């Protein structure tokens, strides 16, 4: 009596069966109709070799990017599924082409405590270089020369014996990008007081004395003033005072005294007024 094993194989997909002769026949546990495990189903060419599966990488901006391509077989798993056989990948080569982009900016511009952002911004592509590294290729961007902001009017003042005096005034300050990542500023309607501008008068009078001769500890009055007029002085951004000696002022050549050896006389010059002394044996 013969046994048709083909017929039996079509009805039993796994396990064992009695063949009718007292012998147990075993069959492989392979689902019917599926390719056997390890069968190459297809091959994909020039695909990215994943880092997790053994491919190398390049790091940019703290991120790891796969930088290899390869050919890989798609293999049957024996149960109707498939997987990439990365372990046996072939034709492994470093990538070329863009894998990310970049933006590069200059330092932020801060004016009077306000942040106006960067004056220069560049952007471009980051490309695989074909040898495992990368290169940055600029595609655009640049530096601005436009107006950033305008502040309001203001002034600079100096302190004088008759109060504060605004020596400089302006209607505003304009801030511009300088085309190099920084900024410049310029006044709007800037004005500075001219030399000799009258500031004010101190009406407190007094007397002026001079030590004659120097080191003698002997002081002589040469003038009595009734007020002091103050005027702006451009040089040094300061002021000077001119005393009003309408009370009295010695004349050039007036006698002061004799110290037993020398006669002393006043030296008086004007424009500007200076007072000193001269002596004769």
Q: What is the pLDDT of residues 147-187, one digit of tens each?
A: 999 999 999 999 999 999 999 999 999 999 999 999 999 99
Which pLDDT belongs to residue 31?
A: 59
Maximum mean pLDDT: which of 5-14, 45-54, 240-249? 45-54
What are the domain boundaries of the chain? 1-30, 37-94, 100-143, 147-192, 198-280
Cβ atoms 141, 221 nearer than 8 A: no
Residue 77's CB: how many other CB atoms inside 10 A? 15
Q: What is the mean pLDDT of the chain?
A: 90
Q: What's the rounded Cα separation, in Å, for the pair 126 and 103?
A: 10
Q: Which two tokens stand for residue 279?
A: 């002596």
CA-angle at 199, arms to 194 and 202, nearest 5°: 155
Percent of the chain with pLDDT over 90: 85
Q: How far apart are CA 250 and CA 207, in angstroms?
A: 12
- Give yes or no for residue 131 having a pLDDT over 80: yes
pLDDT of amino acid 166: 97
Instruction: Give the separation between CA 195 and CA 54, rounded to whole angstroms.
Output: 81
How many residues would you count in the chain?
281
């Amino acid at each position: 009596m013969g046994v048709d094993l083909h017929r039996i194989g079509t009805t039993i997909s796994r396990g064992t069966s009695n063949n009718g002769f007292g012998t147990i026949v075993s069959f492989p546990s392979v689902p019917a109709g599926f390719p056997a495990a390890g069968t190459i189903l297809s091959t994909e060419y020039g695909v990215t070799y994943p880092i997790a599966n053994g491919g190398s990488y390049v790091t940019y901006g703290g991120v790891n990017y796969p930088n290899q391509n390869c050919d890989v077989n798609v293999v049957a798993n024996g149960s109707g599924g498939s997987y990439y056989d990365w372990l046996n990948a072939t034709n492994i080569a470093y990538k070329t082409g863009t894998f990310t982009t970049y933006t590069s900016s200059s330092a932020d511009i801060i004016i009077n405590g306000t942040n106006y952002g960067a004056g220069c911004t560049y952007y471009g592509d980051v490309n695989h270089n074909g040898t495992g590294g990368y290169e940055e290729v600029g595609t655009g961007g640049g530096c601005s020369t436009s107006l950033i902001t305008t502040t309001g009017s203001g002034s600079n003042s100096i302190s004088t014996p008759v109060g504060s005096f605004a020596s400089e005034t302006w209607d505003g300050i304009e801030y511009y990008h300088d085309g190099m990542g920084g900024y410049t500023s310029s006044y709007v309607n800037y004005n500075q007081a001219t030399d000799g501008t009258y500031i004010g008068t101190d009406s407190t009078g007094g007397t002026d004395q001079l030590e004659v001769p120097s080191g003698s500890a002997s002081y002589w009055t040469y003038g009595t003033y009734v007020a002091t007029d103050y005027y702006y002085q451009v040089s040094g951004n300061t002021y000077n005072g001119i005393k009003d000696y309408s009370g009295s002022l010695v004349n050039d050549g007036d006698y002061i005294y004799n110290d037993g050896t020398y006669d002393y006389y006043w030296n008086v010059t004007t424009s500007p007024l200076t007072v000193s002394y001269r002596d004769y044996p």
